[in-house]
Amino acid sequence: MNNRTVLFLVVFAVTLLITVFTLPAFALPTLVQLRTALKAAVAEENGGFGFDVWATVVDRDGLVKLIAFSGTARGDQWPGGRVMSAQKANTATAFSLPSLALSTANLYSAAQPGGIFFGLQSSNPVNPAVAYTTSSTYYGSSSDPMIGYKIGGVNVFGGGLALYDKNGKLVGAIGISGDTSCADHNIAWKVRHKLVLDYVPDGVSSTKDDNIIYDTVNGVSTSGWGHPECSTEATQIAKDLPNTNPISQ
């Protein structure tokens, strides 16, 4: 074995070690994994209209990584839901912490007049140059123009959840839009569970997670973190989520 071969093998080994030790402990899902989990969740009863939906995954910094839809074609979902799903994902990662998860549903009452985060939904506008550039043909694909950019935006109703890996690290968030906001939350919870990115550390709900809270009476949330009800079915499904789709431990 000559010196050049030895040098090549040493450089290769060092490069391999650096790559291995700098990889993240737990990667975000692939587009195929997201689509599979999304279609499975939408096929279940979620208490809404039963519509197809959009899903966006962002990393911890709000960079859009994945966009998918549950229907056969992009026109099977409300077109407006695409950007709203990205808003929800951005909101969930922007207002969650390594020690405390807040869903977009948790922020609803807090962002209303008199709430502790009043005006929050107007604080961080969507970047339209990122949202709508290039042809609509690519929406929901690996070539969606939002991928690789920060979309921004704040959305304060159900459908956005932070993502925590098996080491409890906050790695990003998922946003779902296309059905009622309550059904969107239920779908997001199920998708996160199927992706095993639900190692939630703590939350403001009674079960110490980021589940949607239904405690609004005459327009006022008892806890300050409540969300309006959409249907009795959606409410019951949400209340059962900690049992039917429990947070990973």
| CATH number for the domain that contains residue 155 | 3.30.450.150
Does 144 map to a domain? yes
Closest CA to 140 of 188, 192, 79, 182: 79
- Nearest Cα neighbor of 84 from 69, 95, 99 is 69
CB burial readout 204-240, b (16+ within 10 A) else e = bbeeebbbbbbebeeeebeebbbbeebeeebbebbbe
Domain that holds residue 139: 26-244
Asked whether 91 and 160 are in contact (CB, 8 A), the reply is yes
Is position 57 within any domain? yes
Question: Could you give the CA distance from residue 56 to residue 69 in angstroms, rounded to a whole number?
Answer: 9
Q: What is the pLDDT of residues 72-115, one digit of tens each?
A: 999 999 999 999 999 999 999 999 999 999 999 999 999 999 99
Position 11 in a domain: no
- Which whole-number Å values give the CA distances from 72 to 55, 78, 140, 182, in the listed order? 14, 13, 11, 23
Residue at 4 is within a domain: no
Indicate the number of domains in the chain: 1
- Structural domain includes residue 240: yes
Per-residue pLDDT of the chain (249 residues; tens, 9 = 90+): 554 543 444 334 434 333 333 334 458 999 999 999 999 999 999 999 999 999 999 999 999 999 999 999 999 999 999 999 999 999 999 999 999 999 999 999 999 999 999 989 888 899 999 999 888 999 999 999 999 999 999 999 999 999 999 999 999 999 999 999 999 999 999 999 999 999 999 999 999 999 999 999 998 999 999 999 999 999 999 999 999 999 998
Beta-carbon-side half-sphere exposure of residue 55 (alpha carbons within 13 Å): 35
